Structure 1
Amino acid sequence: MGKVTFLNPEFLWLFLVLPVAIAWLFYKRNHLSATLKMSSLTPFKQNRTFLAKAKPFLYLLRLVALSFIIIALARPRSVDVTSKSKITRGVDIVMAIDVSSSMLANDLKPNRLEALKKVAATFVQDRVNDRIGLVVYAGESYTRTPVTSDKAILLQSLKTIAYDDSIIADGTGIGVGLATAINRIKDSKAKSRIIILLTDGVNNSGTIDPRTAAEIAKEYGIKVYTIGIGTNGKAMFPVAKDANGKLVFRMMPVEIDQKLMQEIAKTTDAKYFRATSNQKLQAIYDEINTLETTEIDEKKYYNYDEKYKIFVLIAFGLLGVEVLLRNSVFRGIV
């Protein structure tokens, strides 16, 4: 009975009538059967039979039958979801991530790149109905993961992103990074297509102007949310390598082309954000997650099993037993 619901639960209010019926039977208990007036009942009281004592319980059968009728009127039924059809029109997303050496600056903890990877992983896990791809760029760019709904592959790819100047030339090519991301998503049939473009510097590499890339995104109806990552003022940046190949850090001023990033976002009807701390970076991805919602059209088919019939049968069965007993076993019992 755990999944039983009532189609007409308002009939259950009739249970309030039962206490009134019980009180009325108790009040009229001496007038419910034929009576005989005698000067003394002492001889009868000592010889009262079991059937005489049990006769009042016939009314209990009637009250129980009434209870079952009330339940039947409320139409109890069990509900079972037999099948479910779910159509999801999600959002296709490409995260274009700057992996230049400056992303190793430690103004965010432990550094900008690791802080981003942690926040981006949470964002990916939250977008359960969407497809996501990864593009990385520095002086050049490449697709690390095509747009996919396989979150396990995506998270593993995101986890292993690292700065490596032997794979990709250093620098900050915002235009080529954005162009690669557009190429990954431009032919998508999703209801909404967005790019999250993150950088911590100024465009100084690549053969594509970022503003031109933004115009191309606009033509395809792609929104580009831009994020400038880095604290205000100065931060410890890698500036060279020592004899052992380890990076040497020096305090340097933080430079982010905020005007350019704002222009890109405005051109594509999106927003620009500035992440100056780990907490601010998390808040930015949370806001983007809220701004770009996914529509889900879900259809469920319900199978109802009506339960009222058994209550009706029990009620009429009890009433039948009462009538039978009253006109046979208890007939003539005072």
Structure 2
Amino acid sequence: MFKEIEFANPHFFWLFLVLPVLIGWYIWRRKEQTAALKVSSVKGFKVKGSFLAKFKPMLFVLRLLALAAFIVAMARPQTSDVSSQTKTTKGIDIVMAIDVSSSMLAQDLRPNRLKALKKVATDFIDERPNDRIGLVVYGGESFTKTPITSDKSIVKRALEEIENGIVEDGTAIGSGLATAVNRLKDSKAKSKIIILLTDGVKTAGSIEPIDAAELAVAFGIKVYTIGIGSNGMARTPIAYNADGSFRYGLKKVQIDEDLLKAIAERTEGTYFRATSNSSLQDIYDEINKLETTEIEEFKFTNYDEKYRPFVIAGLILLMLEFLLKNTVFRSFI
């Protein structure tokens, strides 16, 4: 109970220092408060102590308790309930365009590039609670996996479902970027972002990546490009086994960094290179910092005053002291 109570005027607790002084004064003056009769001898009287006389100090105790209750009341005990409301003053719409070509199964990131990306992208989605996010996947062709939405559970579920083989193999960077632009071109958000990720060079698609970048510029869309893959050789799918599974072998990592840099530069974005799981995480953290959503927060505090029971208790104690003083203990005062 008392853990939730705060005191608006705690300085009134200094008045508790008066209580020991009053107790000392009462003890010192106690003998003078009782009438005394001096006789030479009490042998002729029957001396019998009064039961009520022993409880006379209870009147003083009641008065002290009443004073203590009033001190607590003056300190204003209260509980508070804080509620907040947020208002997004600048919304951001984001589309993540993800390469799902067979090379995304390369194992230079653990357990492979695609699974590493899905984990990092999920964390990124969780950190954008006030923005709308959509997903585009591309290989030899592209399609919209999830339109931009504020329902993060839908986006994360769709992200988890992304696997190699859901589209024809290849790397149609231009098609993937154009599809992402198409998802954002009618957006009313003040800021529109595409995060384009690939691990190779353009091998498919009829749309040139630079032409798609020009479309993004025309619609005021910024593109962050990410080249994923280690430097040198990587264990990558190179052929199919008889059962349809991939056969892995070492293959040189090839990323068209010049193209990705050009796309980012034309759209006022930034190019990043992810060569490990940690660097991929750092890249998404950096984008998260670069694209911040402005939020206005309003806090409301409701106070519930708790001093009234202490005032009532103090008054009851004073009334009880008054009644006992003028009835039961009247002959001893």
TM-score range, shorter chain: 0.7 to 0.9
1:22 aligns to 2:23 (yes or no): yes
Structure 1 residue runs without a partner (length 5+): none
Deviation digits for residues 99-134 of structure 1 (CA, Å, limit 9, x no counterpart): 112112121122211221222223223333332111
Q: Separation in 1 of the partners of 2:204 and 2:46?
A: 113
CA-CA distance at 1:152 after TM superposition: 2.8
1:310 Cα shift?
A: 2.5
Q: Match of 1:185?
A: 184
> Does residue 1:224 correspond to 2:226, yes or no?
no
Shift of 1:242: 4.3
Question: How far 1:182 sits from its partner (Å)?
Answer: 1.9
Using the alignment, how far apart are the partners of 1:23 and 1:41 within structure 2? 32
Go from structure 1 to structure 2 and tell me whether the alpha carbon gap of 1:267 and 1:45 turns closer, same or farther (over 3 Å shift): farther
**CA, structure 1 residues 222+68, in 2 after alignment: closer, same or farther (shift >3 Å)?**
farther
Identity %: 58
**TM-score (normalised: structure 1):** 0.85
Greater displacement, 94-103 / 251-260: 251-260
Give the alignment of 1:309-324 within 5 angstroms.
Answer: 309-324=308-323
1:112-160 CA deviation, whole Å, 9 max, x = no partner?
1122122222322333333211101123221111112223322222122
Q: What is the alpha-carbon root mean square deviation over aligned residues?
A: 3.0
Whether 1:69 aligns to 2:70 is: yes
Deviation, structure 1 residue 61? 0.9
Q: 1:214 to 1:22 in 2, by over 3 A?
A: farther
Q: Trace 1:206-245 onto structure 2 (pairs within 5 A).
A: 206-245=205-244
Gapped runs of 5+ residues in structure 2?
Answer: none
Per-residue deviation, 1:94: 1.1
Greater mean deviation of Cα atoms: 317-326 or 201-210: 201-210
Q: Which residue in the other structure is 2:102 paired with? A: 101
Tell me, in whole angstroms, the C-alpha distance in 1 between the residues paired with 2:21 and 2:257. 78
Residue matched to 2:258: 259
Taking a change above 3 Å as real, the CA distance of residues 13 and 111 of structure 1, as seen in their structure-2 partners, is same
Query: In structure 2, do the counterparts of structure 1 residues 93 and 12 end up closer, same or farther at CA, with 3 Å as the change threshold?
Result: farther
Which residue pairs with 2:132 in the alignment?
131
2:264 and 2:48 map into 1 onto residues whose CA distance is: 101
Partner of 1:144: 145
Question: How many Å separate the matches in 2 of 1:245 and 1:149?
Answer: 38
**CA distance 1:49–1:161, change in 2 (3 Å):** same
1-structure distance, mates of 2:19, 2:182:
74
Equivalent residue for 1:8? 9
The alignment covers a number of residue pairs equal to: 330
Shift of 1:298: 4.3
Runs of 4+ that moved beyond 4 A: 39-46, 83-86, 298-303
1:293 lines up with 2:292 in the alignment: yes
Shift in Å, 1:270: 3.5
Residue 273 of structure 2 corresponds to which residue in structure 1?
Answer: 274
Q: Which amino acid aligns with 2:115?
A: E
Q: Distance in 1 between matches of 2:93 and 2:195?
A: 11
**Superposition TM-score, scaled by structure 2 size:** 0.85
